[in-house]
Chain A
């Protein structure tokens, strides 16, 4: 299965289709950090919100790079379940790359303040940033998978799923939302990172994100049974 993950990552990088989401991500981060400095943990929370649709788009692009018939050839070779998992792992790996860029970006452009007395140390801020971005990455990959061509068949439906998922995550994630549990806790995480983060809240948010991604990926696997 690792060979298939490598093959898909290589295809994603060689086609140049990796460029579009990377540029979009850099643009979003540039706008985010162009306005002034913020505390690292708080900035990372907002960064994860901004990157959520980009990460979902990137996952969709990666899963769509292969021609349909090549995807089926891989399925014949390794079996359906491994083929699905290899695609998701490749999307996760590409997403981790983008997350690492997002973690380093604000330090390069001076978008965050250096920790002062009473602030979190840099390592702790980086760890919180990684946690916040991973909470966004898992649901984003799941959303990208649901929008992938294997399920949606046409570009129009794919974009629609992606747009509804991204906009819904932002709209239903606002404070006072009637059904915040319907969407991944991306905005909630950003709000929490603006203040203190109790361990219980961190666990709750982690479980929420994992559960959302799990449900979405279960749906993906279910639909892929009849959509090779």
Chain B
């Protein structure tokens, strides 16, 4: 826990409802400045779109994407979230929060029905049930939080708030009135008398079940065969399956209106209750219900990964620093992996290969070379993902990590040639890279994946060098995946890393990215053999 300010916050967190602001943002410091629905432009390249879509999938009602699209620029808020994440890693608390969320979800469903349906007493009953459930859910949450050993400032402060809310007159009055009206309604019972053109409602008087009487009368006929069905083998089921819509038709509604006239006092009570409690829902509780899902969603996403043995950690966070002493490691993550790929592999029961990386002293740029399908692109994505996840305040892939804040992320991944653009692909590449270099600052992160593949080797080397020189001059963090070995050793700020192969079986990729000089071996032939598209195998395969 770093700054003096955050320590002060912790020591003064007395039971004081006013001090709680949001479970995502501390009392002071960065907040949400308008919620964006706009995915950051680099999401698709880094496969973060897959991650966030999967994380938020099934939780659309909370509109969580806005939270995941907003990266924090402030270490203090990141720590605030780390504490809450750690609390929620406790299984009991996590389950308690999920139970609460489920309850609140049903409350909203009831309210939705109450708003959607047309008839007064039907609407009112759904409203009553919603509020009844809301009271239960709030009580249960407070019980659960009181039992929990909370360490985070955020959750403790929320618990204090909830305690005072439940004790407030507003809440206790709501609770007792709800109970009264509910009990009255449960005790109402009535009968309908339906005629050719009329029906009557009256109080229920314990009449006999007529269907049982009729069945008994006709039992003797049961074995008679229907001539229409002879030879058909099966007996037709004439029962019509009635649809059971929630909506009432006007007859049902009229019946209910009669019931209400039979029991005027009870229904007057319901009317009054509904009119009085439209604002039953506490804003802080409802915000909490939404915001806590940020943590729940992410933790749920990483649970299966953790169970398969992958490691997550709370990284140390630094500001970008241009003057790191020679040799001092200033950025690292050990045993990290691509969060999107890992989920896919784990779901297929395939092993996930973890990688280590570090940057020391002047080093800022990874130049990744080596055999194709060896994990180069994955490494580049991982680097970008890790930094972004840090900026959300989430635990990140890796055993131990220290990563940097950033102002912007830029990615340049090769795009499929589109006919819409009549410009050549190379020109597109150059224009986009130029735009990136114009907007990037020394605090930015740039990730480039296999650029200049559609020009000659000579051109690619020329262009690659020029672009990399610009990045070096800028001094920002970067990963550059390339097949051009010449780029790997351009300056002290570049680190040459390469995908590797199993020396015994060159066609087998290890998916390990390690520090080593680029050696020009791309093992393309081994792949061609694997797919049986060498000259020799094709001659055998192709029909004459």
A and B from one complex: no
B residues contacting A by CB (< 8 A) are none
A residues contacting B by CB (< 8 A) are none
